[in-house]
Amino acid sequence: MPDHVHMCISIPPKYSVSYVVGYIKGKSAISIARKFMGESRNFTGESFWARGYFVSTAGLDEEMVREYIRHQEKEDEHYDQLKLGM
């Protein structure tokens, strides 16, 4: 998606959700910055991701969540079209 990321991940109970999300955001921001902003820049103090995040459990309906993620862009486009018709 152009303005957000969906992920379906499994986190072992020994790690907190906030730790895992922070780790993913931190490492990916560094990697993206190095790839698109050049190796020579110092990235201290810059931010790439928004501060917040949303988490939900998949439980027994994990496949339903995966389908939602796969088709999210089409669903968003459909919803946007409905809003335009109002």
DSSP string over 15-71:
S-HHHHHHHHHHHHHHHHHHHHH-TTS--TT---S-S-------GGGHHHHHHHHHT
43 in the same domain as 2: yes
What was the pLDDT predicted at 20? 93
What was the pLDDT predicted at 85? 63
Q: Which of 15, 19, 53, 68 is catalytic?
A: 68
What was the pLDDT predicted at 83? 66
User: pLDDT tens digits, the chain, 86 residues: what are they?
Assistant: 566 777 888 888 899 999 999 899 888 888 888 887 776 565 566 677 777 777 777 666 777 777 777 777 777 676 666 666 65
39 in the same domain as 7: yes
- Rounded-to-10 torsion of CA 17, 25, 45, 39: 150
Catalytic annotation on 15? no
67 in the same domain as 33: no
pTM for the whole structure: 0.59
63 in the same domain as 47: no
* Containing structural domain, residue 62: 58-86
Q: How many domains does the chain have?
A: 2
